[in-house]
Amino acid sequence: MSLIEIKEDELVIKRAELTALVDAVQGMREEMKNLTLNAKLDVYCKGDIVTGKAVRMIMGWSESTFSRRLQDEENPIPMTKEGKGYAMPRAEFIEYYNQVFNS
C-alpha cells in the first residue's frame, strides 16, 4: 500500500515519517519523468533504436549542440554512426537522459 494516494480531486497522505514521505514523492516524480520520456520516445522513435534526430528533438538541442555533446569529454552521448546519422539503443538513451537531468 502506498503512502500517498491520488484521487480525482484529493490527495490522501497516510501517517508516516517525513523521510518515508519524501522518498515516496521522489519515487512518484521519477515515475512521472519516465512516463513522459517514454511517451516522447514513442512519438519520435520506431522500435528500440533512438536516432540522432530523436535525441535532438527530445533534448531540445540544435544540430551544433548535438555535435558538441557527441564529443563532450565528461559525458559524451553514447551513440554510434549508423549510415548517414547516429543511433543508440532505447535503454541506453534512457540511462543517458537520467544521468544528464538527474545530476
Q: How confident is the model over 13-70, as pLDDT tens digits? A: 777 677 777 787 788 777 777 668 888 898 888 889 999 999 999 888 999 999 999 9
Beta strands (DSSP E) in the chain are 4-6, 11-13, 49-51, 80-82, 85-89
pLDDT of residue 1: 52
Q: What's the pLDDT band for 101 if we cut at 50, 70, 90?
A: confident
Q: Which residue has the cell 557527441?
A: 70
In this prediction the pTM is 0.62
| d(C-alpha 24, C-alpha 13), whole Å | 10
pLDDT of residue 65: 93
Q: What is the mean pLDDT of residues 74-84?
A: 88
Q: What angle do CA 29, 10, 18 make, to 5 degrees?
A: 50
What does the block give as the cell for 33? 519523468
